[in-house]
């Protein structure tokens, strides 16, 4: 399906130079002189190589139609993630690079949404929030609670985040999977 270049968004899959690319970032740039253009950072689905491409906003690109399908995470097998189709119980193997920075948030039996183009996985979406335990947190500094400051902490998956001063090591908190930011204390 053809679409204008200025309608490209992160997460879409496009075909360019005979290869399939997933869009990572896009930015419309309006220079002081001349027409506007869109700069797109994208990753080749077969090789995993990243590249930047520029199009004029009026150019058209070929957007591929994706199908979303739910899978359940089973286990890691070296550099691969093994997923199970909850309907047919068939296993699907994907390279762990498809998750990028969200890989540490993968948990056993987690429900994932996988984007497919003609049966090939092109993207994986984790749930928006996960519950993790704090393994390390700096002690509270007296008077720090007067302002809305945050302190550094380390989650059980090794990711560093910022938490409010009342959160201590050993507590379970809810964090966003896209940027590892604190949401709330866990209610369990």
CATH of the domain at 21: 2.30.30.30
| Number of domains making up the chain | 3
Residue 117 to residue 173: CA distance in whole angstroms: 35
Q: How far is CA 1 from CA 62, 64, 67, 148, in A?
A: 6, 6, 14, 48
Judge if 59 and 6 occupy the same domain: yes
Q: Among residues 66, 57, 56, 54, which one has the least CA distance to residue 22?
A: 66
Task: Kindly list the strands in the beta sheet with 111-117, ordered across the sheet, starting from the edge strand earlier in the chain.
Answer: 91-95, 80-84, 67-77, 111-117, 120-125
| 12 lies in the same domain as 59 | yes
Given the structure tokens 């070929």, which residue do they identify? Answer: 62
Q: Is the pTM of this model over 0.85?
A: no
> What is the predicted pLDDT for the residue at 175?
92
Residues 73 and 58 placed together within one structural domain of the fold: no
Residues of the chain with pLDDT under 50: none
pLDDT tens figures, 128-175: 899 999 998 887 766 655 556 788 899 998 889 988 888 888 899 999
Within this chain, do residues 105 and 144 fall inside the same structural domain, yes or no?
no
Report yes or no: 8 and 56 within 8 Å, Cβ to Cβ.
no
Supply the range of the domain harboring residue 85.
67-125
Same domain, 143 and 167: yes
pLDDT at 143: 63
CATH label of the domain that carries residue 117: 2.40.50.140
If one counts every other C-beta atom within 10 angstroms of the C-beta of residue 179, the result is 9
- Quick one: 119 and 144 in the same domain? no
Note the maximum CA span of the chain. 61
Mark whether 135 and 104 lie in a shared domain. no
């Amino acid at each position: 399906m053809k679409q204008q270049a200025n309608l490209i968004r992160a997460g879409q899959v496009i075909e360019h130079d005979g290869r399939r690319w997933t869009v990572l970032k896009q930015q419309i740039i309006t220079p002081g002189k001349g027409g506007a253009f869109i700069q797109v950072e994208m990753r080749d689905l077969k090789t995993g190589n990243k590249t930047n491409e520029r199009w004029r906003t009026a150019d058209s690109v070929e957007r591929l139609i994706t199908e979303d399908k739910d899978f359940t995470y089973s286990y890691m097998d070296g550099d691969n993630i093994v997923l199970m189709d909850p309907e047919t119980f068939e296993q699907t193997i994907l390279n762990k690079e498809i998750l990028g920075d969200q890989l540490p948030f993968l948990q056993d039996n987690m429900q994932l949404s996988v984007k497919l183009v003609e049966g090939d996985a092109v993207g994986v979406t984790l749930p928006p929030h996960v519950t993790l335990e704090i393994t390390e947190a700096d002690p509270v500094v007296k008077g720090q609670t007067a302002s809305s400051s945050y302190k550094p902490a380390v989650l059980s998956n090794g990711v560093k985040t910022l938490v409010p001063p009342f959160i201590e090591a050993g507590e379970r908190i809810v964090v966003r999977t896209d940027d590892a930011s604190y949401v709330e204390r866990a209610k369990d």
